[in-house]
Structure 1
């Protein structure tokens, strides 16, 4: 079957070369993404040696796009964006518009159409969130106010590009014209009404999909994943997360006509607001990273290195727009919005590269016939060079910050201080609220363990799972909780109140912190005692199936429960023997 393993061969070559060149890039203090792109160039059709299956790699890359956008949505924080909205929203929108105009101007110099110029400008206007996060983490700047603004800025750019991915197909026919005359003729011939109708239908579909995702998604998706998480199966939970990501992306494309990227983004956005977001991110991250690597490798396969030699002026023009034009625009917008110079320089360094959305946009533009093949080569060349040079951009902006502080200390210290201080307070409030939520969950787990010391045998990472497995139950005084002869349906942990276990003619009182109902579960028999509430009781109930699976994964807890159950059985037998003996004596 060696002639039928094209898929395996493609994945193997992608992973092996990406790991090698990614490691080399890291050793050179470059983002590993550069290595992944170079790996793609090495196995592409434009370089000698191994040539991977481009069509198959492109399909795998689609999976990479889905998981990449799912990850963006999963880590998207509406509260963080709202905190920096005053600078991130107008800044990102203004920068996209101006950078797109620069792209249109550059394309017009080459004789390209308006559509090609818009696709070029949009592709050059959006920076890579992946590259930025890596750069900020390496410099310990991610949680600084300037770092949060830079991330928020790029999130707004990502959202704008998602909208562009939706609108481009609807506008493709009009944008395919080569100049203003062509567009005017199209409008004059009545194309405007059909265009508006197509645009309205497209936006209506997106609006319906977004409404379903925003209002129905938070009710359905967490409920489904909670059900799956309660099974305790890690592989089933991971599979369910991926099924939601890929299923929603594919379903949204088929039913609503939106892109895979938008569907996956909303899937991540919905899941990101649930209490299972951290678990979902941790379980899906390996596959997300793996397919994202394949995506970048497949992009590198499309790049023709000869464009650097054949048209170096055009490559330099693209690079100038990315690293100079965008950075200057971003810096000036921040300053005009009256934020500190240091923040403006941080944003400038962050914008001096392009990445994943640029590749998605140019691929869409190419499929719609809006941009020539050389445009894709120029954008890929600009991405490779700008990502490689991005550390240099951060170094330059850092030196400029030092220079401004030395030359104009009053300006560096005072300009934009009011806006900066307000932003710091807002970010601190959001961080405190997040920490409070995390602390509340941690306290709840601690209270659970404190109430039931037996659960301290469970590893800390698995204690939170009990919060999903336990179901609350209650009983009033005199209410029978368990009846002799019933089938064992689960195990009860007493959170508050007290019960009496009536067995063998005697009553045993169990108070808060105790548990009951385990013996029938362990033996597989029916209930052998009555349990009656003697106070207002609150229970944590563990169903039979959950009990069996959880105990199987935690043998130390199972052993402790077994030991306590045996002690209770022996105590019951001894009590029963005493009762019978007393009864015999009384009969005599």
Structure 2
């Protein structure tokens, strides 16, 4: 029976293509974002084969924008920003101004209006949150001074772009060359700022109390499903309400919803449970952006594409190096920050789409921005390794040095434990190891948990334990025991296999949630596997059998 299901077809085509190209990108050790963009090109109208519905894809992209900005808000930390404010605030502003000027120069060369040049330059000035955080995680720099400066710098850029997204529609008439009196313009800007200020005040005064209270109520219902639904309802509801009532962007509404929610530990745990949905719609956002890209622009405007890429990769990097060095930071910090910012991403796409929608930016400008994004994201891992001094020889020396230090730190005749994960189970294990005065190191990927472990006084290594380099830095070869406390059994299996290859004699203890995970972990080399449900049932039976 024939069915007309353009929405289902668009979602299926986007996710299938994104999975295929994302897997290829992972295999090539480049950012998955580049794979998602290429997936959009494949299912877009400018290439042969399956063509997804562009209009529906853009609607889905709006959800992706909301959830992406919600995630940015969740990771926004006033404390982290204030710690690097002396470099991040002026540095980001100066770098935005420099990159915008370079982009405006390209626009003038192409014969575009001054307003188009401003939008084009701003789009080239802001880096991708997704790509930057991934690069810092891979380089294990996210908790270093260099990483904190880069993240603080990016937060300032994000806030500046949120303000631009809010003000740009209000300035569209003037930017498009339409006559408008100074009084009308001032009134328009003032009204927009008043609405934004009213929304921010409402969120900080009312939302800061109502949102945590709503989440606590949902948590106390005992329904995990209702708890997750509450988080999504708050994220999407605040974003939509902000746009409908205050005429501000979905992006700003979602950002403040995430920021208010991210201030409470309960809220952060709730947000973690919704990450798969956020990631799925974020993928569709990048796919929808890729669908807008016409590959012929590379042939027809090759010189302009190259100039755009040079602004992103070279111009921004040189500006960042000069600014960071001017503020007295060492060359390694300057190069790491420069490498982190040598790409563009989600805010650039939002600005380009809004600029075209308002009639300010020509279609060619959006194509150049998309081309610059795709190529800079592809090049970023290589640039990052080169500029940050992470060549394979340097990496091997650093790994060997860190492993040597870890080995020297361990007691000669004692045991050394590597604990993977500092979630709810990992924290309890770490407390027990500390009470027993065991020598152990924690490997954790999530920055908030890394910080929490360090605040508790533990030795922590930030990184993904499934990577051989990370295990090497944890001195897995000298460890006597590996304890895996992460809840994902099959991901734990990868860690077990690689740890066993590096240290065949190590004792491995792992955690599982199902019989399938237990069998899998034992097959790949775990010595002991603990399944939480079994242990709970065993303990309940023991209590039931014991005399009252």
1:437 shift after superposition: 7.2
Per the alignment, residue 333 of structure 1 pairs with 323
Per the alignment, residue 393 of structure 1 pairs with 383
Aligned partner of 1:236 among 226, 238, 254: 226
Q: Any idea what SS the aligned residue of 1:3 has?
A: coil
Aligned partner of 2:272 among 277, 282, 285: 282
Within 5 Å, give how 1:14-413 maps onto structure 2. 14-177=14-177, 186=179, 191-399=181-389
Distance 2:210 2:486 in 1: 26
Maintained 8 Å contact 2:41/2:292: yes
Distance 2:119 2:314 in 1: 19
CA spacing shift, 1:400–1:273, aligned 2, 3 Å: closer
CA spacing shift, 1:560–1:399, aligned 2, 3 Å: closer
Distance 1:278 1:398 in 2: 32
Distance 1:401 1:331 in 2: 19
Distance 2:370 2:81 in 1: 29
1:279 shift after superposition: 1.2
User: TM-score, normalising length from structure 2?
Assistant: 0.73
Maintained 8 Å contact 2:261/2:268: no
Q: Any idea what SS the aligned residue of 2:329 has?
A: coil
CA spacing shift, 1:337–1:224, aligned 2, 3 Å: same
1:398 shift after superposition: 3.0
Which structure is larger by alpha-carbon Rg, 1 or 2?
A: 1
1:5 shift after superposition: 1.9
1:110 shift after superposition: 1.0
1:176 shift after superposition: 1.1
Q: Any idea what SS the aligned residue of 2:274 has?
A: helix
CA spacing shift, 1:437–1:253, aligned 2, 3 Å: farther
Q: Any idea what SS the aligned residue of 1:276 has?
A: helix
Distance 1:271 1:307 in 2: 42
Within 5 Å, give how 1:427-442 maps onto structure 2. 434=452
* Superposition CA RMSD, Å: 2.6
CA spacing shift, 1:560–1:141, aligned 2, 3 Å: same
Within 5 Å, give how 1:402-481 maps onto structure 2. 434=452
CA spacing shift, 1:323–1:221, aligned 2, 3 Å: same
Number of residues of Structure 1 aligned to a counterpart in Structure 2: 421
Distance 1:170 1:225 in 2: 35
1:282 shift after superposition: 1.5
Q: Which runs of 5+ in 1 are unaligned?
A: 403-429, 440-459, 463-550, 569-588
1:119-170 alpha-carbon deviations (Å, 9 max, x no partner): 1001000000110111111111111110111111111111110111001001
1:435 shift after superposition: 5.1
1:340 shift after superposition: 1.7
Maintained 8 Å contact 1:43/1:301: yes
User: TM-score, normalising length from structure 1?
Assistant: 0.68
1:558 shift after superposition: 6.5
Distance 2:454 2:298 in 1: 53
Distance 1:285 1:433 in 2: 20
